[in-house]
Amino acid sequence: MRYQYGVAIALLGFAAPAYADALDFILTNNTGKEITLVELSPLGANQWQPNKVDEGEKPKNIKIGGRATIHFDKTGTQCKWEIKVTFVDKSVTTFPAVNVCDDSFVTLSFKGTTPASSGS
């Protein structure tokens, strides 16, 4: 009987959910194009999650030169995250990783045709 309780307790440990930290940052759109979708993934993981919006609200486009608060769940200890955006013309661009642990403000832009991101 004692063995069965031990196994049950061990299995509960495996069934426990992995908790994620909810993180936010302010994104400034200096790309020259209106953004319709923002997705994030830990650097190199290719596990994209969309910007979270409050229940009952629709995602809003980020106008050229506009700012928006980006909400997402940070899992694990990875601080470098890539940002992928879809523009109003349906083109998609992945921007270099930013440090979401340290940066509260992120600016997306292009240096010529090369995607660029900076954080502060």
The residue range of the domain holding 79 is 19-119
Determine, yes or no, domain membership for 91: yes
Position with higher pLDDT, 6 vs 88: 88
CB atoms within 10 A of CB 66: 14
Determine, yes or no, domain membership for 3: no
Q: Are 101 and 25 in contact (CB under 8 A)?
A: no
Grade residue 9 by pLDDT with cuts at 50, 70 and 90. Answer: very low
Determine, yes or no, domain membership for 5: no
Determine, yes or no, domain membership for 2: no
The pTM for the full model equals: 0.79
Determine, yes or no, domain membership for 82: yes
Instruction: Provide the pLDDT for residue 92.
Output: 98
Q: Tell me the CATH number at 71.
A: 2.60.40.2890
> Residue 2 pLDDT > 70, yes or no?
no
Determine, yes or no, domain membership for 38: yes
CA distance 71 to 23: 6
Q: Are 84 and 94 in contact (CB under 8 A)?
A: yes
Number of structural domains the chain divides into:
1
